[in-house]
Amino acid sequence: MSATLLALLAAASLAAASLFTKRMVGTYPPHQLIGPLFALNGLLLAPLLPFVHWHLTWAVAGLHLASIATLIVGSWCVFELFVHGSASAVSIAQAMAPLPAVAFTALLLATPVTGVQTVSAAIVSVAVLAAVGGSFGRLRMPHAVVLVAVAASLNGLLVVLTKLLTERGLGVAEIYVTRTGVAAAVWLALVPPRGIPLRAVPELFTRSSFQTAYFALIILALQRGSPATVQTLAATTPLMLLIATFVLRGRALPPRLVFASCAVVVGVALAPH
């Protein structure tokens, strides 16, 4: 399966996970959800661990630690956005991530970033931002801008760090279970889930299934393609959310969504496949 298709499937999985996350943060203490969700994420792929050929080097350990720190801080930013904004507004960070991904790819990877990749990332980011702008609810704009900028930058960095791990031969289970397992332990220690009842487990499990599918598909796509290209394709998540919302409600798409959709198609077409 191509990196393009994997990244687009990842975007669809993240869209579904975002809808579940938004619903849960309105029902349970938001930050208490993070630890259990990370734990469930890791457990979903834990059955693959006996088949993993472990890579135990200082370089791999350093990349793991950087990825874990990025994930821990990034998750806090994302859940802050979920508390105050719609699922579409939160995914603005996903729409912005291609630009940091391009920058971090140029800085950290030997693979050069082409002008076409940069233009593609910019088109997709601007188009999606135009579609979802103004949907932050009660969150003050300066606060929202900072959170989105940090979340987008960390998301872009996480993708590039993941690419570096795949270049060293690590597979999906070794990368993802290690990362989410440690992140879960940190979050569970910092914010124990005392307010999350057992009856919430099925819903948490469903959300984790979509979120894990997203990350697994992203890792598989990164094994086949450039971080800049993969992140650009994955940035279509918020547009998928908005279009699905209007379709399910039986309403015609507003002009800004039609324009954004066309622009995203152009941006995705420019992305190297």
Average pLDDT, the chain: 80
pLDDT above 70: residue 35: yes
pLDDT at res. 202: 93
CA 7 to CA 273: how far, in whole Å?
Answer: 11
pLDDT at res. 269: 56
Q: What is the mean pLDDT of residues 258-262?
A: 61
pLDDT above 70: residue 127: no
Q: At a CB cut-off of 8 Å and minimum separation 6, what does 220 contact?
A: 1, 6, 172
pLDDT at res. 227: 80
CA 183 to CA 71: how far, in whole Å?
Answer: 7
pLDDT at res. 270: 57
More confident residue, 132 or 160: 160
pLDDT above 60: residue 136: no
User: What does each C-alpha distance from 21 to 48, 210, 219, 235 come to in angstroms?
Assistant: 26, 10, 22, 18
> What SS3 string covers 179-241?
HHHHHHHHHHHHCCCCCCCHHHHHHHHHHHHHHHHHHHHHHHHHHHCCHHHHHHHHCCHHHHH
